[in-house]
Structure formats: structure tokens, C-alpha cells
Amino acid sequence: NSLKLKRIFKPQNNTKILTIVMDGVGYTNPNTNLTAELAKNHGILPSEAFSIGNAVNAAYTPNLNRLISSSLFRTIKAHGTSVGLPSDDDMGNSEVGHNALGAGRVFAQGAKLVNSAIESGNLFSGNAWKEVVARTELKDGTQTLHLCGLFSDGNVHSHIDHLFALIIGAKKEGIKKVRLHLLLDGRDVGPLTATDYIDKLENFLGTMNSNEFSCLVASGGGRTFVTMDRYESDWSIVERGYKAHVLGEARFFKSIREAVEILRSEKNYYDQDLPPFVLENNGKPIATVEDGDSFIFFNFRGDRAIEITRALTEEKFSAFPRKRFPKVHYAGMMQYDGDLKLPEIFLVTPPAIDQTMTELLCNAGVKQFACSETQKYGHVTYFWNGNRSGKFNADLENYVEITSDQIPFQERPWMKSAEIADETIKQMQNNSFEIGRINFANGDMVGHSGDFAAAVLSVAAVDLALGRIMNAAKETNTILIVTADHGNADEMFEVDKKTKKVVFDKNGLPKVKTSHTLAPVPLAIYNTEILERNIELREDLANGGLSNIAATVLELAGFESPSFYDPSLISFSEKKK
């Protein structure tokens, strides 16, 4: 029973509204937190100090600057409670950002829902827990409970406290053997922080392990190289994980600490890139996954959980040779795909994101367009549509994926920005859609590498593509809404929370930051002159955020925005003739 949208006016023929998400391009004012003296000592000219670590400010962005200086520009919130995260200390991320963009309002998100399910105890009294964990074979020690997921407190895909809660729950249940398969983060947290979490885990397990209960790490690897691929960008990532976690096939080490330290030192790796490892005891893996075992993937976010879930649950599977396919009792922390019902068993019910803009527009018969490169393709489709991989109406939804390269993106910071612009401009010229959205991955994907110089280029590449689309917008009657889902490239060096100054390492170099930021994001509306009414930004929505964009899009297209959506950021007035 989705709402029937009411159309108040129909813009002139072939008017299109296109939302452009510059992923990871947060907007912070030029930051002056580096004193001139410090800057000089570190070989940085005072003038450059303004953009220290801020690749968005440092990049040459004439087109973005043009938008920033227009009257239809403001910043909006993209982190913390404004996107449904537990607190305002939580940086934004693409899942919650695109959910808010596509659904026009804010839902309590995975991080928050899992916290409450643990606090209330509902997680441990639910059917999924009973089916997967409260099993006699686990209590008499004949079978093993495996817990696999991202090992940090990043709160983007997972949280270490959730892992600890599951271990405590398993012990309470009387389970004998728990084995952990841990993916090292360094991407939602500092690039070299794995050992901090290992310290925490060791302390924790010290209080848990006994004659009756054994919880040990069995395998792992860096998250970008092992297990956590997304949108089928590169199945070999998942295959490496499957081999390590399930088959016990990867380089052997005695402990996770030893694995991390040795592997880091061999190639100067950041944690996220570490190769897979298996922990051994007397020359044999500490654990492999066997028929009848239970397996919980404890990430709550779906994009990077879907492929490993499929590898562990699908009878028919051809993405890579599994060699052995143990029949396990599998549960996800959440259901990762609402259309595919993947996985069937999940510990916490995901947010019920309904009546998304796509659905309402399909109902109203509006043609839509979405495009990005592989790395972010699911962001403008699956996340945008409330974590659903399907379509509401295939005749009205035209989704184009540009295949991403399989390389470290700091080596090609322009990524597929030119190709995305080509495709989008073509669709604009063909008038093939009325409402569209695209995503440029650069600021985020390159931002995550921690490479400042590359991040500067990545933002410049987005600006170049933006300029081309702005020109095409004039020729094709397209109104642009230019924004971002969260910050990343705007802060490439670690900034001390208290002093707000860049942190330097022992060699006097700025400490690299790979994760997202708390920054607000830009919001610019371009080419509204084509409408028969004047558009202004409302002044009473100082706390406006990503969830206000859907209503803004709908109103620009002449629809009345639904009362249950967050309000539009604009107001209309009659044009003086």
C-alpha cells in the first residue's frame, strides 16, 4: 500500500532531476588547525596549511566552487543520529547515508538495533539464536560455533562489543567450543589499530576461557583482501576467506598477534590489506568448518556480507570452486537482502525501510535512472532502495553499472568518473529518465587508502566530471542536486579530538587517516532557472540532513512530498514577470 504521489505542477517538457552523490566528499571549512610554525617545521608552507589533510580543499575544484558560491548552497548533516546511528560520535557511512537519501526519513540503523537487541536480551531469546546456537551438539562439544566478521569498533559493519556479547551468550548457553574468524579493519578505524583490538580480545578471553569453555581465534585476514568483497567486484577476495575460515588453507601462524605483526612487517601493509592467515596447533589448523557446525557472520551491514553468506549457504554456487561445502547452521547478525531473503536466519531484524522514493515514483509511473561503478553500484540501487536488490518496476527503473577496475584505487584516483559522466550525459540527452541518481566513488574509495596526494586527484576528477554534467544539464533541462553521503577525503590525516590539531607520528609525518569523517556534506541545487517558479533554500531547517533530500527532489519535480517524509529543503515563490 504505498502512497500515491500527488502532482502539483508538471515542469516543462523533459525536465529531469538528477542527484549526484560525491561519495566521501565532506565539506569542512578550510582548516587552520595547523599553526604556521608547525607547518614550517614540517616543510609545509603556511598557505598550504589551510588545506592540510583536507583533500577536498586542496583539490582544484572550479565547478564545485561555482556551486558553493551560489545562493542555492548549504551544508547538511550526514553522520550520527541524523542518519540513524547510535550517537553523534558515529561517522556517517554509505549504507545509512544512501538509506536516508532514498527513503526520505531516518530509520534506526543496524548499529543501534543490534545494541538494543543485546541490551534487552531479545537477541538471545529469539528463534534464530535458538535454532543456530541453542543446540545440543554445541553443548556436548561435538560441534563448533564459528563467529566471523569485521574485528573493530568502527560501527559501520560491526562492533567488537557485539562479538563479545555473542561469546558471553554462547558460554551462558553451555556451548563448549567457539572459534573466531576475524577480519582486520584499518578502514573504519585507524589503519594500524588491529593490535589494540587484539589486546582487548585477549583480556576478554582471559576472563572467559575455562576447562568448560574454549574460545580461540582460528583464522582471519585484512578486510579488503579477505572475505569482505561487495557487489561481486572480485570474488577472489571471498574465495581467500572461504579457504582460510572453512578449509583452514592459508599461511600458518601461532597466534593472531604473530600473524598481524609478521605480515605487516613483510610488506608495510596497512591492516585492511593483510593476506589471509590460519592459526595452527601442532601443524594443523585450530579449526575448520565441518558439517553440522553453527556459523554466525556478526556484521550487521549487508553489502560486504552477502557474498560470504552465499558461499556458505547456497547449494548451487559457481562463483569459485569451494572444494568442500559443509552444511552449517548459518545465521547473519541481520538479514542482508530483503528481496533475496539472505540469509534466511538472522539474529536481529533489520530496519523496515519502506515507501522509498523509488517505490513511490514507480507507483506514479516515473522513469528513473541510477548509475555508478561497481564499487558503489549497490549504493545507488540496493542501499537507495532500502537494502533490496530487486526492482519495483523494471520498466521504469534503468540501472547502469560501470565495471570498476580491480586495482588499489590510489593508483588510478580518477576511477570511472569519466565513464559515469559519459553514460549519464547520454541518458540526459536521450531524455530517458525523469528522476535519476548517480554516485562518484572517488573521494571515498581513494580516501580509504590514506594517500593524501591521490585523494586530491580523486576529488579533482569528480569535479571534472561534475563540470561536464553541469554543462550537459543546461542543454538538457536537467536540475542537479549535488551532495555527498558522508565525509572522507576532507580529512586524510588524524585530527586530535580535543586539540583539533593534526597528529604527527614519531617521524614527524602527519598520521594517516583512512576512515570516514563527521563532516557535514555539501548540498547544491543547480539550474533551477528552468522552472517557472523561484526556488529558495528554507532558513528554518538548520539541522537539515540527507533525509531531507528525497522530499526536495520530489518537490522540484512538481510532486507534493509525503507527509511522513522529512521536509524538503526548499520553498517556492512565484516568478515576477
As annotated, the active-site residues are 94
By beta-carbon proximity to Co ion, the closer residue of 185 and 444 is: 444
Task: Tell me the closest approach of the beta carbon of residue 23 to Co ion, in angstroms.
Answer: 7
Amino acid at site 19: T
Q: Which of 300, 297, 352 is nearest to 155 (CA)?
A: 300
Burial of 268 per CB tally in 10 Å (0-12, 13-18, 19+): exposed
CB 2 within 8 A of CB 355: yes
279 binds, among ligand 3PG, Co ion, none (CB under 5 to 8 A by kind): none
By beta-carbon proximity to ligand 3PG, the closer residue of 187 and 437 is: 187
The DSSP code for 144 is -
In the beta sheet, which residues pair with residue 88?
none
Is residue 304 a contact residue for ligand 3PG (CB under 6 A)?
yes
By beta-carbon proximity to ligand 3PG, the closer residue of 23 and 434 is: 23
CA separation for the pair 378, 458 (Å, rounded): 20
CB 52 within 8 A of CB 494: no
Query: Total residues contacting ligand 3PG (rule CB under 6 A)?
Result: 10
Is residue 93 a contact residue for ligand 3PG (CB under 6 A)?
yes
By beta-carbon proximity to ligand 3PG, the closer residue of 188 and 566 is: 188
Residues 1-20 that bind ligand 3PG (CB under 6 A): none
CA separation for the pair 244, 221 (Å, rounded): 9
Task: Tell me the closest approach of the beta carbon of residue 100 to ligand 3PG, in angstroms.
Answer: 13
The only residue of 59, 76, 83, 156 in contact with ligand 3PG, by rule CB under 6 A:
156
CA separation for the pair 542, 266 (Å, rounded): 50
By beta-carbon proximity to ligand 3PG, the closer residue of 177 and 304 is: 304
As given in the structure block, the three cell numbers for residue 456 are 586530491
Residues 419-458 that bind ligand 3PG (CB under 6 A): 444, 448
Task: Report the 3 state secondary structure along 375-435.
Answer: HHHHHHHHHCCCCCCCCCCCCCEEEEEECCCCCCHHHCCCCCHHHHHHHHHHHHHCCCCCE
By beta-carbon proximity to ligand 3PG, the closer residue of 49 and 420 is: 420
Task: Tell me the closest approach of the beta carbon of residue 519 to Co ion, in angstroms.
Answer: 13
Task: Tell me the closest approach of the beta carbon of residue 517 to ligand 3PG, in angstroms.
Answer: 11
Residues 414-473 that bind Co ion (CB under 5 A): 444
* Interface segment toward ligand 3PG; rule CB under 6 A; list 87-95, 122-130, 164-172, 493-501: 87-95
By beta-carbon proximity to Co ion, the closer residue of 91 and 263 is: 91
When CB distances to ligand 3PG are compared, the closest residue is 94
In the beta sheet, which residues pair with residue 372?
401
For the chain, the first-to-last Cα distance in angstroms comes to: 42
Residues 189-218 that bind ligand 3PG (CB under 6 A): none
DSSP states of 201-253 as a string? HHHHHHHH--SS-EEEEEEEEETTTTT---TTS-HHHHHHHHIIIII--SEEE
* Interface segment toward ligand 3PG; rule CB under 6 A; list 77-85, 90-98, 122-130, 522-530: 90-98
By beta-carbon proximity to ligand 3PG, the closer residue of 75 and 93 is: 93
Is residue 397 a contact residue for Co ion (CB under 5 A)?
no
Task: Tell me the closest approach of the beta carbon of residue 46 to ligand 3PG, in angstroms.
Answer: 33
Task: Tell me the closest approach of the beta carbon of residue 503 to Co ion, in angstroms.
Answer: 21
By beta-carbon proximity to ligand 3PG, the closer residue of 350 and 562 is: 350
The only residue of 15, 94, 410, 427 in contact with ligand 3PG, by rule CB under 6 A:
94
Q: What is the dihedral of CA 425, 26, 537, 556, to 10 degrees?
A: 30
Task: Tell me the closest approach of the beta carbon of residue 83 to Co ion, in angstroms.
Answer: 14
* Interface segment toward ligand 3PG; rule CB under 6 A; list 35-43, 93-101, 136-144, 462-470: 93-101
187 binds, among Co ion, ligand 3PG, none (CB under 5 to 8 A by kind): ligand 3PG
Task: Tell me the closest approach of the beta carbon of residue 107 to ligand 3PG, in angstroms.
Answer: 16
Is residue 188 a contact residue for ligand 3PG (CB under 6 A)?
yes
By beta-carbon proximity to ligand 3PG, the closer residue of 157 and 329 is: 157
Show the site string, 111-150: x = touches ligand 3PG by CB under 6 A, - = not: ----------------------------------------
Q: Which of 177, 196, 178, 176 is nearest to 186 (CA)?
A: 196
* Interface segment toward ligand 3PG; rule CB under 6 A; list 91-99, 201-209, 429-437, 566-574: 91-99
Q: Which of 567, 562, 564, 568 is nearest to 4 (CA)?
A: 562
CB 174 within 8 A of CB 184: no
401 binds, among ligand 3PG, Co ion, none (CB under 5 to 8 A by kind): none
CB 426 within 8 A of CB 28: no
Q: Cβ of 123: how many Cβ atoms within 10 Å?
A: 21
Task: Report the 3 state secondary structure along 280-324.
Answer: EECCEECCCCCCCCEEEECCCCCCCCHHHHHHHHCCCCCCCCCCC
CB 28 within 8 A of CB 519: yes
79 binds, among ligand 3PG, Co ion, none (CB under 5 to 8 A by kind): none
Task: Tell me the closest approach of the beta carbon of residue 93 to ligand 3PG, in angstroms.
Answer: 3
Q: Which residues of 552-571 are buried (b: 16+ CB within 10 A; e: fewer)?
A: bbbbbbbbebbeebbbbbbe
304 binds, among ligand 3PG, Co ion, none (CB under 5 to 8 A by kind): ligand 3PG
In the beta sheet, which residues pair with residue 524?
73, 482
Task: Tell me the closest approach of the beta carbon of residue 191 to ligand 3PG, in angstroms.
Answer: 13
Could you list the residues that contact ligand 3PG (CB under 6 A)?
93-95, 156-157, 187-188, 304, 444, 448
Q: Which residues bind Co ion (CB under 5 A)?
A: 444
